[in-house]
């Protein structure tokens, strides 16, 4: 058991025997060298595995099982360059909770589409309770799992937009009368256009006439309308 304080690793590390390797809630691992923990040793992280404390990217491989509790933290660096990052590889099952945090490596400026595989596990039970990813000018990182086995947690840099919608029309309509309403979609001032914007709308009663809508809208089910995608809305612009 690694109790409170910082436990720094450098050079060649050996983990002999079988059993459990536990990081206490007040303990922090600082992986300063690549490490492989054999299949006979299962790792439980109640504290922190913090790759960000060393400048070079590192890999820790757990050939057995990995458990991260609600107090556990896994913190890694991503970049530079794109695709270069710390990673925890687990061969067995990972039982996950707690927090995953990614921070930008020194000197790295992300570009949209930059991709990092930051965690891999043979099978997975649960998920990190929180995934904290860095934002950058005009974007942020999106975290998703790839595949079934192994489960790979991937971060992809994606542009951010701020889309809003305003719907106007009459407050009431007489029985059997026709009413029109307008939906305006806007993209707040920023650096990225909003692309392939799809409008979904609902109404409680009446008959919808898709032939009178612009752009063309489709009644997909009773009371549910989907409108054709808007190819692009520039920052600070709006369309009806």
Per-residue confidence in pLDDT tens, the chain, 240 aa: 666 667 777 666 667 778 889 999 999 999 988 999 999 999 999 999 999 999 999 999 999 999 999 999 999 999 999 999 999 999 999 999 999 999 999 999 999 999 999 999 999 999 999 999 999 988 999 999 997 777 999 999 998 888 999 989 888 888 888 888 888 899 988 778 888 999 888 877 667 776 666 667 887 887 788 888 889 999 899 988
Distances (CA, A) of 75 to 39, 54, 70, 166, 225: 23, 11, 14, 41, 43
Cα 74 from Cα 5, distance rounded (Å): 16
| Letter string b/e over residues 40-73, b meaning 16 or more CB atoms within 10 A of that residue's CB | ebbbbbbbbbbbbebeebbebebbbbbbbbebbb
Q: Which of 238, 208, 213 has its CA nearest to residue 228?
A: 213
Residue 79 near residue 114, CB atoms below 8 Å: yes
pLDDT value at residue 128: 97
Please tell me the number of Cα atoms within 13 Å of 38 on its side-chain side. 8
Name the one residue in this structure whose structure tokens are 């942020």.
140
pLDDT value at residue 104: 97
Under DSSP, the state recorded for 85 is B
pLDDT value at residue 94: 97
Cα 63 from Cα 21, distance rounded (Å): 12
Residue 194: beta bridge partners? 233
Under DSSP, the state recorded for 105 is P
Residue 95 near residue 67, CB atoms below 8 Å: yes
Maximum distance among all Cα pairs of the chain, rounded to whole angstroms: 81
pLDDT value at residue 223: 79
Q: Which of 136, 84, 78 has its CA nearest to residue 112?
A: 136
Cα 237 from Cα 142, distance rounded (Å): 25
pLDDT value at residue 3: 61
pLDDT value at residue 102: 98
Residue 215 near residue 201, CB atoms below 8 Å: no
């Amino acid at each position: 058991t690694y109790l409170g304080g910082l436990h720094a690793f450098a050079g060649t590390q050996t983990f002999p025997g079988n059993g459990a390797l536990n990081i206490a809630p007040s303990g922090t691992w600082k992986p300063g060298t690549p490490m492989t923990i054999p299949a006979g040793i299962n790792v439980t992280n109640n504290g922190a595995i913090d790759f960000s404390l060393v400048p070079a990217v590192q890999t820790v491989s757990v050939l057995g099982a990995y458990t991260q509790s609600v107090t556990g933290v896994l913190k890694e660096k991503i970049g530079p360059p794109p695709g270069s990052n710390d990673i925890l590889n687990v061969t067995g099952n990972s039982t996950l909770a707690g927090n995953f945090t990614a921070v930008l490596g020194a000197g790295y400026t992300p570009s949209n589409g930059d991709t990092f595989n930051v965690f891999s596990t043979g099978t997975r039970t649960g998920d990190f309770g929180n995934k904290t990813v860095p934002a950058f000018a005009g974007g942020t990182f999106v975290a998703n799992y790839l595949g079934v086995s192994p489960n790979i947690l991937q971060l992809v840099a994606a542009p951010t937009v701020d889309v809003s919608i305003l719907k106007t029309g009459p407050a009431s309509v007489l029985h059997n009368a026709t009413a029109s309403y307008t939906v305006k979609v806007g993209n707040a001032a920023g650096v990225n256009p909003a692309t392939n914007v799809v409008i979904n709308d609902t109404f409680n009663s009446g008959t919808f006439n898709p032939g009178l809508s612009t752009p063309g809208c489709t009644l997909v089910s009773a009371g549910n309308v989907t409108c054709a995608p808007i190819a692009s809305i520039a920052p600070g612009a709006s369309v009806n």
